[in-house]
Amino acid sequence: MEQLIRKIKGMVSLKAYIKQRDDLHFITVKKEQLELILSHLKNNEGFTHLAFLQAVDFIEDGKFQLTYMLCNYETNVNLGVLVLIDRDKAEMNSIHSLWAHAWQYQRELFELYGIDFPGSPRVHESFVLEGWDEIPPMRRDFDTLEYSDQTFYQRPGRSTNDPAEYMKEKMYKNYAASPMIRRDNE
C-alpha cells in the first residue's frame, strides 16, 4: 500500500493519509483532484468496487466531508477517498460514469444533505422523502424535535424518561437481587 500512496503523491498533493489497519486506509484529496484519483484507482490499481458514498456534516467548519469507499478484491484492501466541499454551495461532480450505481448514493445525498451532483441521473427526484420541502434532514442544523413537535400530534399520556433510569427500572430492576449474578466481593 505504501507504494500506491507514493504513486498517488506523485500524481496529486495528498492532504492526508491514514492507515487504520493493514486492510483499511484513508486518503484526503482536493475536490478538483477527486475524479482523477478515483479513475486511476479503478482503472489501474484494482479498486473496482465502490462500496458506498457517504457524507459527514462539519457545520462548525462550513464543510461536508464525502467518503468514497473503494474495495480491491485481489489484495483485500479497502481505501476511503475523502474530500471536503463547501457546505454553502454543496456541489460535487458525479462519478456515475465510473460506477453506474453511484447515482443512487448521489441521489440519497442530495435528498438528505442537499449536496448536488450535476449530471447525475435522477438526482433531483424524490428518493425516500416524497414531497419534502424542509431543510434536508441530515444537516446538523435541522431541528428534529422542533419538526416532530410541529408535524406530529402529541398523544395524551406520553411522557419522557431518562433512558438509563428507565432501562434500569423496566428491564433490570431485579438485577441486583438475582442469585445468578456473580459478585467479585463474594
Q: Residue 1 CB: number of other CB atoms within 10 A?
A: 15
Q: What is the per-residue pLDDT across 104-162, written as a single tens digit (0 to 9) for each?
A: 999 999 999 999 999 999 999 988 899 898 999 999 999 998 998 888 887 777 777 77
Q: 35, 93 in Cβ contact below 8 A? A: yes
Per-residue confidence (pLDDT) for residue 127, from 0 to 100 = 84
Per-residue confidence (pLDDT) for residue 20, from 0 to 100 = 95
pTM of the predicted model over 0.75 = yes
Per-residue confidence (pLDDT) for residue 137, from 0 to 100 = 96
Tell me phi and psi for residue 68, to 5 degrees.
-100, 110
Determine what percent of the chain is predicted with pLDDT higher than 70.
Answer: 91
Tell me phi and psi for residue 102, to 5 degrees.
-60, -25
Burial of 94 (0-12, 13-18, 19+ CB in 10 A): middle
Domain assignments of the chain as residue spans, ordered by start: 2-152
Q: What is the per-residue pLDDT across 8-27, written as a single tens digit (0 to 9) for each?
A: 999 998 999 999 999 999 99
Q: What is the mean pLDDT of residues 51-79?
A: 97
Per-residue confidence (pLDDT) for residue 52, from 0 to 100 = 97
Name the CATH superfamily for 2-152.
NADH:ubiquinone oxidoreductase Nqo5 subunit (3.30.460.80)
